[in-house]
Amino acid sequence: MNWILALPELVLACCGMAILVIGVLNKRDMFQACSMLTVGAFLLTAVLVIAGPTGVGYSGMYTADAFSLFVKLMILAAAGLGVIVALDYNEHANMQRFEFPVLVLYAATGMMLMASSSNMMTMYVGVELMSLSIYVLAAFARDELRSAEAGLKYFVLGALASGLMLYGISLVYGFSGSMGFEQMAKVLADPAKVSPGLVVGLVFIVAGLAFKISAVPFHMWTPDVYEGAPTPVTAFMGTAPKVAAMALLIRVMATPFGHLLAQWQQLIVLVAIASMVLGSFAAIAQKNIKRLMAYSSIGHMGYALIGLAAGNAVGVRGVLFYLFTYIFMNAGTFACIIAMRRKGRYVEGIADLAGLSRTDPALAMWLAVFMFSMAGIPPFSGFLGKYFIFTAAVQQGLWTLAVIGVLTSVVGAYYYIRIIKVMYFDAPAEAFDARPGSLSFVAAASGLFTTLFFFYPAPVVAAAEAAAKVLFR
Amino acid sequence: MNAAGFPLLSLVTWLPIAGVLFLMSVRGDEETVASNARWGALWTSLVVFALSLVLWVKFNQADGGFQFVENAAWLPQWGISYKLGVDGISVLFVLLSTALTPICILASWDAIQTRVREYMIAFLILETMMVGMFAALDAIVFYMFFEGVLIPMYLIIGVWGGPRRVYAAIKFFLYTLAGSVLMLLALLAIWYQAGTTDLVTLLHTNIPVTMQSWLFIAFFASFAVKVPMWPVHTWLPDAHVEAPTAGSVILAGVLLKMGAYGFLRFSVPMLPVATANFAPFIYTLSVVAVIYTSLVAFAQTDMKKLIAYSSVAHMGVVTIGIFTVNAQGISGALFQMLSHGVVSAALFLCVGVVYDRIHSREIARYGGLASRMPKYAFAFMLFSMASCGLPGTAGFVGEFLVLVGAFKVNFWLAGLGSLGMILGAAYMLYLYRRVIFGVITRDDLKSILDLSAREVMVFAPLVILTMWMGVYPSSFTGFFDAAVNALVDHHHAAIASTSKLAGVFAR
């Protein structure tokens, strides 16, 4: 048995346990130290992921390939940024407990498992490991009503979604006679084997995963949970889990159900259109920037789904590239949001940003960069992401999807530039407290990436293409 | 390598960004930063202008193709490269952009007192985007510059604009973006069809006739908003009125030309059949624009709004010229674009001069300025005359050529188009009389000062250009004659081959 394949996950899980022990045994406040160790563990895992072999192991339950490599690196980067933006916030919000980075670490382990799963069981275990960790994280500010409410809401709805997915898995298993992706693909290659029951199962699995990426109509929890959860948790939830769930959705659609393109394409097209439309229109009326980002993320997942709807390697390349640009934009935006602290209290209103360009020009500039980028204005990285998505749509002749996509992106641009308007055109409000170095670092690093990425995107496109080609042989 | 022996166009495009980096690095109190920003921006833009003059000298006028071409791999596997170059159609617009930027910076010297550094940074970024847009020879690079212009312009209108700046800025942004995103889909479709985004190759790619109409509509959505054509021109008066003087100057001088340039660069050469089919539609919109917006201009009480509407009318003449697709029409359109770029820019500067002194743009607020401001009255008169198309000034040549081109197509088109000249003369003279002549009634106008030395420096190059273009137009038309002839020949050859093909199928 080739257990070396899963070495990154094993190492990461062991690091998690070690950090937990370190945290428990020390009497002192170990939050900062454990966070640093967690970031170190992520770096170590990233090295192992890059250096590790590819292949199928554990009786076909686990696959390490170019696709999982690309996705895992994105997950680790996003999780690392998530830990860093929490450093200062948790100190101020009285959440400086060492369990925080450990939970992020285990969530990341689950996500990596999702990226590598090639069996319905591995997939489910990965999803649950991720979800359970995030349920706890969402309720991490345990003295705060909003946070507890967010955690509970996410847990109840998430459990429902898990149930749906599990039911779908059981149906699919019953009708295809297998759990492994490869075996299922072989069985389903014969159109006669595709029964309505199997398609129902497929729909349930899509519903369960659509919940995790908060695509319409399974988005209801997103605004409330985003708003209620502690902001660093929101930042984390907006990036890594989305990447992992989207990657899993791609793999499930492409590998076991690859021959059922006709059945699921319509589904994905509808979900994509609904997400883009709702994400752009519902965001207009928002006054809380975290809720706004929730709707924005719904819209972004809609765009990413366009690439999946294309159902070929070009489309998946677009999705991966899009997610790559998205995690940096999102992490940077949330670094700016976490920096919104006035007289020791965190504020979340869009109006609180008024005149930020006068009181903190650097922060305003980075946030403006992220907003322009999310709106898809060149030369920022968000434009390139949209470009590769729409390329796939045009190539496949999905004109309805493409036209609706670009038009909703104009509606989306309205609320993004409204934030810039508040920061640059309005009279200044009281200044925010001094920014800690960790947030400045994440904002500046993500901002520089977002701004300068257009100079040399070729290696990332090539890596995304190599990853996508694995799924469509 | 190209005629200059070094990557000239890249240098002209990106040098302003170096200026931006310098401006950002300046430390000190607000006064130091502001003064450094002004001088830094001015010198950067002057150096860029001096460099761009190499284009004027070294450009081979006999060659209708692209010159000073640079090519660097960007996304080579996907047929996208960073490619720059100019032909006769674009070279003068590069020069127009580089020439207007220092003038704008000089014009904002005293008018802008808040956040000077950010203002100058926005202008330098804008210069990069404008020059890059005109020099781009790759559809995606073109699109990136075309859209990138929105960012600095949005900030210039929104931060340094007038009372309704927020509304104007957001309207400007969303109108332009809505059109542009459809163009992005069209570019992607062309890329998928041809396998490359290299404009030089695309100019000679045959696109299926059925596809041409859809692509034309998508391009039209983008360029018509940018030109702007009636009825999607409504963002322009708002943007012009609210923008600071220099913002209006760049908007009228260069940004409006981007739409017309897009028609010439994409729609006419790449989609010949659709161009021929849609020409009557464009003529109709243009004639409506010429007559209707001229009448609207007549009724304005705000000077900037009047000139903004006159811009819409003048750009209507340009679109008529482009879609006649004959040598006179297109040459006229190009010349009209250049002259409008100089003259309307100058007119907005004229409004800026009195606005800086009295802080009002109401026409009724003024009167009798001739006795107190003779230099100003002279400059304003020259530009007003040029705007009406008086022979001997820049405005005449373009309108005349367009009308000659239009006569070849249709008598009524030319007849209705020329109404614009008459109406233009009416509203400009009416404006001039109300502002400059008459008796001074208000006390603050009695002590108004004539042009300062700095303002004379701002106006002098524009006065010279206006006269030069009117008296000796062939030093400008010489640049684009070869390219225009090649474009027209290519268009007619494409139409002929398509109809021959259609004939074959019909049989």
A94-131 confidence digits (pLDDT tens): 888 889 999 999 999 999 999 999 999 999 999 999 99
Per-residue exposure over B216-236, b if at least 16 CB sit within 10 Å of its own CB, e if not: bebbbbbbbbbbbbbebbebb
pLDDT higher than 50, residue B496: yes
- Summarize pLDDT for A184-199 with one digit per residue, the tens: 888 888 888 888 889 9
Kindly state the DSSP code that residue A352 receives in the 8-state scheme. Answer: G
Say if residues B91 and B69 touch (Cβ distance below 8 Å).
Answer: no
Residues near A151 by beta carbon (within 8 Å), at least 6 away in sequence: A135, A136, A137, A138, A139, A140, A228, A229
Q: Name which of B75, B151, B166 is nearest A458 (Cβ-Cβ).
A: B75
Distance in angstroms (rounded) separating the CA atoms of residues B312 and B297: 10
Query: Please, what is the end-to-end C-alpha distance for chain B in angstroms?
Result: 50
Judge whether A288 and A365 are in contact, CB under 8 Å.
no
Q: How confident is the model at residue A236 (pLDDT cuts 50, 70, 90)?
A: very high
CA nearest neighbour of A243 among A120, A123, A327, A125? A327
Print burial letters for A2-41: b (CB count within 10 Å at least 16), e (below 16). eeebbbbbebbbebbeebbeebeeeeeebbebbbebbbeb
Phi-psi region of A55 (alpha: psi -120 to 50; beta: other; left: phi over 0): left
pLDDT(A292) > 50: yes
Considering only alpha carbons, which residue of chain A is nearest residue B157? Answer: A425
A-chain residues near B75 (CB < 8 A): 457-458, 461
| Cα distance between residue A395 and residue A392, in whole Å | 5
3-state SS assignment for residue B67: strand
Q: Is pLDDT larger for residue B144 or for residue B367?
A: B144
Condensed to tens digits (0 to 9), the pLDDT of residues B116-169 reads: 888 999 999 999 999 999 999 988 899 999 998 999 999 999 888 888 888 888
> For residue A50, with 0-12 CB atoms within 10 Å meaning exposed, 13-18 middle and 19 or more buried, which class applies?
exposed
Whether B24 has its CB under 8 Å from any CB of chain A: the answer is no
Cα(A320)–Cα(A74) distance, rounded to whole angstroms? Answer: 9
Residue B1 reports pLDDT greater than 50: no
Q: What angle do CA A226, A447, A431 make, to 5 degrees?
A: 70
Q: How far apart are CA A251 and CA B449, in angstroms?
A: 74
CA distance A208 to B43: 60
**In sequence order, what are the residues at sequence separation of 6 or more whose Cβ sits closer than 8 angstroms to the Cβ of residue B412?**
none
Residue A367 identity (one-letter amino acid): L
pLDDT of residue B466 exceeding 80 = yes
Lookup result for tokens 């300068």: A452
Q: How large is the average pLDDT for residues B247-252?
A: 90
- Environment class of B162 (CB within 10 Å of its CB; exposed 0-12, middle 13-18, buried 19+): middle
Q: Would you call B151 an interface residue with chain A, using a CB distance cutoff of 8 Å?
A: yes
A329-338, B227-236, B438-447, B489-498: which range is least confident on average? B438-447
Residue of B nearest to A417 (CA): B170
> What does pTM read for this prediction?
0.91
Contact B166 A421 (CB under 8 A): yes
Nearest CA in chain B to A461: B75
Backbone angles phi, psi at A144, to 5 degrees: -105, 130
B3: helix, strand or coil: coil
Whether B68 shows a pLDDT value over 90: the answer reads no
Tokens representing A251 are 């793999």
CB contact under 8 Å between A425 and B166, yes or no, is yes
pLDDT at B504 over 60: no
Confidence of residue B507 (pLDDT cuts 50, 70, 90): very low
Give me A236's structure tokens. 């984390």
Query: B169–A357: do the CB atoms touch at under 8 Å?
Result: no
* Distance, CA of B156 to CA of A236 (rounded, Å): 35
Cα gap B182→A408, rounded to integer Å: 12
With an 8 Å Cβ cutoff, are B188 and A357 in contact?
Answer: no
Residue B256 reports pLDDT greater than 60:
yes
The 3-class secondary structure across B417-475, one letter per residue, is HHHHHHHHHHHHHHHHHHHHCCCCCCHHHHCCCCCCHHHHHHHHHHHHHHHHHHHCCHH
Residue B7: how many other CB atoms lie within 10 Å: 16
CA distance B195 to chain A (A): 11
The predicted pLDDT at position B4 comes to 61
Tell me, yes or no, if B189 comes closer than 8 A to chain A by beta carbon. Answer: yes
**DSSP state letters, A105-156:** HHHHHHHHHHHHB-BHHHHHHHHHHHHHHHHHHHT-STT-HHHHHHHHHHHH
Across the interface, whether the CB atoms of B75 and A394 are under 8 A apart is answered no
Q: Compute CA A166 distance to the chain's CA centroid, rounded to the nearest angstrom.
A: 22
Does B430 reach chain A within 8 Å, measured CB to CB? Answer: no
Q: Does B356 touch chain A (CB under 8 A)?
A: no
**Do the Cβ atoms of A134 and A162 come closer than 8 Å?**
no
CA distance B148 to chain A (A): 6
CA dist A172 and A253 (Å) reads 13
Rg (CA), chain A: 21
Distance from CA of A179 to the nearest CA of B (A): 38
- By the 10 Å C-beta count (0-12 exposed, 13-18 middle, 19+ buried), B101 is classed as buried
Q: What is the mean pLDDT of residues B1-28?
A: 81
Categorize the per-residue pLDDT at A45 as very low, low, confident or very high, splitting at 50, 70 and 90: very high
Alpha-carbon distance B249 to nearest alpha carbon in chain A (angstroms): 21
C-alpha–C-alpha distance, residues B155 and A220, integer Å: 35
A56: helix, strand or coil: strand
Determine the average pLDDT of the residues in A377-395: 90
* Cα separation values, A233 from A87, A150, A238, A335, Å: 12, 11, 8, 12
Q: Which token pair is A158? A: 């998430």
Supply φ then ψ for residue B6, to 5 degrees: -150, 160
- In one-letter notation, the amino acid at residue B71 is N
Report CA torsion sign: B270, B272, B273, B278. Answer: positive
* pLDDT at residue B75, rounded to an integer: 82
| Spatial distance between the Cα atoms of B258 and B147, rounded to a whole number of angstroms | 11
- What are the CA-CA distances from residue A379 to residues A287, A323, A376, A416, B170 (Å)? 28, 17, 9, 16, 19
Residue A398 has pLDDT above 70, yes or no: yes
Q: Are A328 and A380 in contact (CB under 8 A)?
A: no
| Helices B139-148 and A381-395, packing angle to 10 deg | 130
Number of cross-chain residue pairs from A and B with Cβ atoms under 8 Å apart: 87
On whether any CB of chain A is under 8 Å from the CB of B78, the answer is: yes
Q: Between B116-135 and B30-58, two packed helices, what is the crossing angle to 10 degrees?
A: 20
Mean pLDDT value across residues A69-88: 93
B chain contacts of residue A358, beta-carbon cutoff 8 Å:
115
Q: Angle at which helices B272-298 and B474-506 pack, to 10 degrees?
A: 130
Whether A394 and B178 lie within 8 Å, measured CB to CB: no
Given a cut of 80, whether residue B308 has pLDDT beyond it is yes
Question: What mean pLDDT is reported for chain A?
Answer: 91
Count of residues in chain B: 507
Report the C-alpha gap between A242 and A301 in whole angstroms: 8
**CB A457 to CB B147 under 8 A?**
no
Q: Whole-number mean pLDDT of chain B?
A: 87
Place A1 in a pLDDT band, splitting at 50, 70 and 90.
low
* CA torsion through residues A110, A111, A112, A116, sign: positive
Residue A358, burial from CB neighbour count under 10 angstroms (0-12, 13-18, 19+): middle
pLDDT score at B2: 58
B148/A378 touch (CB, cutoff 8 Å), yes or no: yes
Region B3-14 average pLDDT: 80
Picking from B77, B182, B189, the nearest residue to A406 by CB comes out as: B182
- For residue B68, which phi and psi values (nearest 5 degrees)? 55, 35
B178 φ/ψ angles, rounded to the nearest 5 degrees: -60, -40
CA B32 to chain centroid: 34
Q: How far apart are CA B311 and CA B331, in angstroms?
A: 19
Question: What residues in chain A have their Cβ under 8 A from chain B's Cβ atoms?
Answer: 357-358, 361, 372, 375-379, 383, 387, 390-391, 394-395, 402-403, 406-407, 409-410, 413-414, 417-418, 420-421, 424-425, 454, 457-458, 461-462, 465
B223 touches chain A (CB under 8 A): no
Half-sphere exposure (Cβ direction) of B122: Cα atoms closer than 13 Å: 25
Site of tokens 């509606």: A411
Cα B120 to Cα B108, B221, B228, B229, B454, distances in angstroms: 9, 31, 26, 30, 18
ω into residue B228 within 30 of 0, thus cis?
A: yes
